[in-house]
Amino acid sequence: MKVIIRENAAEGGLWAARHIAARIREKAARTHKPFVLGLPTGSTPLATYAELVRMVRSGELSFRNVITFNMDEYVGLPEAHPESYHSFMHKNFFDHIDIPKENIHILNGNAADPEAECAAYEQAIAKAGGIDLFMGGIGEDGHIAFNEPFSPLSSRTRVVTLTQDTREVNSRFFGGDPDAVPARAMSVGVATVMDSREVMILAFGPKKARALASAIEGPLSHYNTVSAMQNHPAGIIVCDEAAIGEVKVNSYRYFKAVEAAEGDA
């Protein structure tokens, strides 16, 4: 995996936005097939979304031929609830770009048949030709999407039970009450993300430092599902100085040296 280290979250977010834009343009230059992009919610990608919106508004980038698949959605939360991931994505991104409505895919957390909904999501990804680039964040417990500790690294889209840890972390959006955070979610699996041609994980701030260090230097483990990045042939971690702070000094130096030698290759 490649590790891109920036001074702070704002710089890291800009790097990620430029990378996505470059990939969309590269594909458009060689084929008419749509670019398929996997997307997260959370605080982490906000700077990236803001920069992508700016690029679209200034005419530098278009999402007209982009298909998106979001990572996850709460189970049982009305779609119109301000904290649903449907609401988040429209408010922070989709309402401000030129993506056709029918190109947006977000799991329906209120589906009458959740299993069928999850299976259909996997099929829709396959029908779109697979995901070109999946952008994700990480949880303080090392989750990727809502693949909490002990999720099989071979997991697919399914209903998951959130850890108490995650409900506490996310309670900041639910009036500070962990019990107000839905107990379950639908999430793409670790393998769904890892099947993507490229995976870019963003991690900013000191609260992510331990999970990030163990994903990078620790064993491949269902206890820290982001560690699956170790086996991805085209995995990029974009982080800030605070989030990379728990890796060994020599690991840090190596990542910096690789970036200096290879740039954004």
The stretch near ligand PGA (CB under 6 A) out of 39-47, 87-95, 104-112, 220-228 is 39-47
Question: Considering only residues 34, 42, 114, 189, which one is a binding residue for ligand PGA as defined by CB under 6 A?
Answer: 42
Whose CA is closest to 183, among 202, 164, 199? 164
What is the closest distance, in whole angstroms, from the C-beta atom of residue 172 to ligand PGA in the complex?
Answer: 9
What is the closest distance, in whole angstroms, from the C-beta atom of residue 170 to ligand PGA in the complex?
Answer: 7
What is the closest distance, in whole angstroms, from the C-beta atom of residue 77 to ligand PGA in the complex?
Answer: 16
What is the closest distance, in whole angstroms, from the C-beta atom of residue 43 to ligand PGA in the complex?
Answer: 4
Query: Segment 122-151, which members bind ligand PGA (CB under 6 A)?
Result: 137-139, 143
The answer to whether 36 touches 129, Cβ cutoff 8 Å, is yes
Who contacts 120 (Cβ-Cβ below 8 Å, separation ≥6)? Answer: none
Would you name the residues annotated as active-site residues? 72, 141, 143, 148
φ/ψ (deg, to 5) at 51:
-70, -40
Q: Is 164 in the site for ligand PGA (CB under 6 A)?
A: no
- Say how many C-beta atoms besides its own lie within 10 A of residue 116's C-beta: 10
User: How many residues of this chain bind ligand PGA (CB under 6 A)?
Assistant: 7
**The amino acid at 201:** I
Question: Considering only residues 8, 31, 43, 161, which one is a binding residue for ligand PGA as defined by CB under 6 A?
Answer: 43
Q: Is 44 in the site for ligand PGA (CB under 6 A)?
A: yes
The stretch near ligand PGA (CB under 6 A) out of 41-49, 59-67, 192-200, 246-254 is 41-49
Residue with tokens 């992009």: 37
Q: Closest residue to ligand PGA, Cβ-based?
A: 42
Alpha helices in 31-113 (DSSP H): 46-57, 85-92
Q: Give the SS3 label for residue 104.
A: strand
φ/ψ (deg, to 5) at 149:
-50, 140
**The amino acid at 178:** P
Residues that bind ligand PGA (CB under 6 A): 42-44, 137-139, 143
